[in-house]
Structure 1
Amino acid sequence: MDPFCGAGGNVIQLAKKYTQVIAVDIDAKKLEFAKKNAEIYGVSDKIIFIQGNFFEIAETLKKYKPQVIVSSPPWGGPSYKKHEVYSLQKHMCNEYEGGGKKLYDQLRSIAPNVALHIPKTTDRKEVNESNFYR
């Protein structure tokens, strides 16, 4: 599953390897791009597309029982570069209480395996000390 699929790059790659992938995005236009891209790559029949705000529909996504979540969650747009050291807690998904930690905890409540693409300037000490990896 990818809860922030955007135009579908990650889900298309996952669908090339796995039998079923769940693609979620809040933006209807991005989801349409993802559907079109999946058709171009011949994997649209393997992908379930869901429009919605991950933070609002997280509980309902559990019914799909994904084993792995691969995602590049919202970093805060180009402004993430202004942070010399990027904090998952303070900067990622900061419009939601709990930020990156809350996101990670929600992802782990849905699937046992989570892989996040994060900015290369992310504070590694924060990641190691905050139980982002259990």
Structure 2
Amino acid sequence: MSRLFDVRVRPLPEWLDWRRLLGPGAWVVDSGSGGGLEARADLERDAAADLAARLRNVGIGGYLLEVRIMPPLHRKDLRKAYTEEARRYRDGSVGFSRRGARVDEEGRWSLTPEAIALELGERAGGMRVIDACAGAGGNAIGFARAGCDVVAIELDPGRLAMARHNAKLYGVADRIDFVAGDARAILPDTKADLLFIDPPWGERYSKERVTIEELPPAGELLTGADHVPNRWLKLPPSFDPASLPGYDAEAVFGVGGGDERRVKFLLLRNR
């Protein structure tokens, strides 16, 4: 019988689908000290190393995850797991699948994967949507493909041109009203059922904890959005929901073979 390792992971937010995050194993979950949940399981060597590599420097919900493995793994086991995790990272969810789509460097990091954007659109259920930080158009296109009418606002003319091009490529340009300008000024006079905010956060955000104040212009947009009944925000996995009272958090996982157990972002929705 192969050796088993005692693996413990904490702190896990109560709203997190921790089963999907942690993967196979006879996990036992209890309330952890200092808040959050602690999960424990006995795993074989490769599974323990895989989990350690996948959760290294990962923060969810305002806390950096801690992974404790006893007895400690050998360095060669961890090096092998890190290499495999890097390979999986390259096999993640696809941004735009259609040839000819245009994105810039920021879009390569921040674009909502096509399948996830479409799923969000389907959840919107045909509402009229304001996409306040449209970027290259990934979210706006997902909403439009699901039957929503969209107002896509973007401050950068070059990125708005990309969004127009990509919307035509997906055959939904007629469902999207492209608006150049600052959403903070445009939003108060624009009517909609749903405000969607995906502030630019790229790869530069803190992997341990991010607050709403650190994600401009999200906070300012919310202050002028009382006339929109539904408000959704796409925020980094490490975002602390406590910094945005009145909103419920949901962890959105990848859909590709390499990131199906990786939290891509948090979806915050007003109650």
Q: Using the alignment, how far apart are the partners of 1:115 and 1:105 within structure 2?
A: 14
Out of 167, 170, 195, the position equivalent to 1:69 is 195
Identity %: 31
Mark the runs of 5 or more structure 1 residues left unpaired by the alignment: 94-98
CA contact (8 A) 2:154 2:160 kept: yes
Pair 1:38-2:167 in alignment: yes
CA distance in structure 1 between the aligned counterparts of 2:174 and 2:188, rounded to whole angstroms? 24
> Which has the larger strand fraction?
2
CA apart distance, 1:100: 4.1
**TM-score normalised according to structure 1 size:** 0.78
Does structure 1 retain, via aligned residues, the 8 Å contact 2:183–2:221? no
- For 1:21, the aligned partner's letter is V
Cα distance in 2 between the residues matched to 1:36 and 1:70: 21
From the two aligned structures, give the one with the greater helix fraction: 1
| Residue type at the aligned position of 1:102 | E
- For the structure 1 residues 5 and 41, does the alpha-carbon distance in structure 2 shift closer, same or farther, using more than 3 Å as the test? same
Partner Cα separation in structure 1 for residue 165 and residue 183 of structure 2: 21
Higher alpha-carbon Rg? 2
How far apart are 1:12 and its partner, in Å? 0.5
Matched, 1:92 2:222: no
Aligned length: 120
| Alignment-derived partner of residue 238 in structure 2 | 121
Give the C-alpha shift of residue 101 in structure 1: 3.4
What's the TM-score, normalizing by structure 2?
A: 0.41
- What is the CA RMSD across the aligned residues, in angstroms? 1.9
Within a 5 Å distance, the mapping from 1:17-32 to structure 2 comes to 17-32=146-161
Which of 132, 136, 143 in structure 2 is aligned with 1:3?
A: 132
